[in-house]
Amino acid sequence: MPHHHFLSLAYDGTDFRGWQRQPGGVITVQQTLEECLSEVHGREVVLGGCGRTDAGVHATQFYAYLRTDEPLPKRYNFIVNKRLPAGISLYDALPVPDNAQARFDATERTYDYFFHDKPDAWLDRASGLFDLNGFDPERLAQALPLLLEHEDFRAFCKAPDRHNTTIVHFREATLYRNAAGGRFRLRFVANRFLRGMIRLLVDNLVRVGKGHVSTEDFATALRSGARLERFHLAPPEGLYLTGVRYPYVDAEPVLPVSGRESWVMLS
């Protein structure tokens, strides 16, 4: 009798070329995990992921679909984690319906982007370093409601023609500042996200905050679908997939250890 599970995972994406297995011998999270589980199960294991994070992007809540013909062994999490390299952790194996799809059943995804203004040896792998000279967080915060007012994000997609549609429905776009000051967090919650979308949005939103892009120009790009003059992705190390919601899995988003501090909501 087949057994169906979602593997609840977290990973530090610094040393991986993203989630998805790729040709050419590059190291990805999917390949590393599949090779580990193939040893554990004594057969080839192929996983279906809930998304495709880019190279260097992290995840604190990621789900991968696993089907087995036998029940999982006792202490399964311990067995797998002993074999996984540093940077990938298995939290749990959750039973799911027979027809579950990790990618297409997701109803909502949450991403958090962290950025700071001074070099910090403990943050450089876990947060995007920006020149925030002249940055006004209130200017950035004023642009965030525009994300909830618009649906077509073609102007903020790295490869719009690779998507069937560039329509995205935001539920939340929020800016936070840490209590100590000097560090910020942007949270984005939507039904889906496009390729490179969040990193493109972050780079331009920071430029709005610095006065290099006006709120009006940002709004015009959303309305018209035309890219702004600067088309640049924010550094990948600041981006985390922190939450994925399903009709049958209701878990709250999880911040990374580096982000578990006091935050003040600015928008």
Q: Which of 63, 95, 127 is the last residue of a domain?
A: 95
| Same-domain check for residues 43 and 145 | no
| Same-domain check for residues 31 and 89 | yes
Q: Which residues are catalytic?
A: 54
Number of structural domains (the chain) is: 2
Query: Residue holding tokens 């609840």?
Result: 8
- Residue 227 — very low, low, confident or very high, per pLDDT cuts 50/70/90? very high
- Kindly state the average pLDDT of the residues 157-168: 94
| Same-domain check for residues 231 and 118 | yes
User: How, if at all, do strands 239-245 and 183-190 pair?
Assistant: unpaired
In the predicted structure, residue 24 carries a pLDDT above the cut 90: no
Is residue 257 domain-resident? Answer: no
Is residue 261 domain-resident? Answer: no
Nearest to 78 by CA among 46, 47, 44, 40: 40
Is residue 262 domain-resident? Answer: no
| Same-domain check for residues 216 and 123 | yes
| Same-domain check for residues 228 and 122 | yes
pLDDT value at position 90? 98
| Same-domain check for residues 236 and 124 | yes
Is residue 103 domain-resident? Answer: no
Is residue 123 domain-resident? Answer: yes
Q: What is the pTM of this model?
A: 0.96
| Same-domain check for residues 123 and 75 | no
| Same-domain check for residues 85 and 42 | yes
Cα–Cα distance for residue pair 72/56, rounded to 1 Å: 31
| Same-domain check for residues 117 and 181 | yes
* CATH number for the domain harbouring residue 147: 3.30.70.660
Query: Residue holding tokens 């073609």?
Result: 154
- Kindly state the average pLDDT of the residues 136-149: 98
190-219 pLDDT, tens digit per residue, is 999 999 999 999 999 999 999 999 999 999
Cα–Cα distance for residue pair 245/4, rounded to 1 Å: 18
In the predicted structure, residue 25 carries a pLDDT above the cut 90: no
Is residue 130 domain-resident? Answer: yes
Q: Which of 38, 70, 95 is the last residue of a domain?
A: 95
pLDDT value at position 250? 87
- Domain limits for position 86: 3-95
When the pLDDT of each residue in the chain is averaged and rounded to a whole number, the result is 96
pLDDT value at position 244? 98
In the predicted structure, residue 23 carries a pLDDT above the cut 90: no
Is residue 233 domain-resident? Answer: yes
- Kindly state the average pLDDT of the residues 98-107: 96
- Residue 180 — very low, low, confident or very high, per pLDDT cuts 50/70/90? confident
pLDDT value at position 242? 98
Is residue 225 domain-resident? Answer: yes
φ and ψ of 132, to 5 deg: -105, 20
pLDDT value at position 228? 93
pLDDT value at position 184? 98
Cα–Cα distance for residue pair 197/168, rounded to 1 Å: 10
The beta strands (E) that lie in 12-121 are given as 48-49, 58-68, 88-95, 108-116
pLDDT value at position 51? 94
| Same-domain check for residues 210 and 160 | yes
The beta strands (E) that lie in 69-182 are given as 88-95, 108-116, 128-129, 170-178
Nearest to 66 by CA among 56, 74, 75, 76: 76
pLDDT value at position 217? 97
pLDDT value at position 7? 98
| Same-domain check for residues 58 and 159 | no
* CATH number for the domain harbouring residue 45: 3.30.70.580
| Same-domain check for residues 145 and 197 | yes
In the predicted structure, residue 267 carries a pLDDT above the cut 90: no
- Residue 181 — very low, low, confident or very high, per pLDDT cuts 50/70/90? confident
- Kindly state the average pLDDT of the residues 243-266: 96
Angstrom CA distances, 196 to 34, 85, 141, 189, 227, stand at 25, 27, 21, 15, 13
Q: Which of 95, 116, 142 is the last residue of a domain?
A: 95
In the predicted structure, residue 136 carries a pLDDT above the cut 90: yes
Cα–Cα distance for residue pair 266/91, rounded to 1 Å: 32
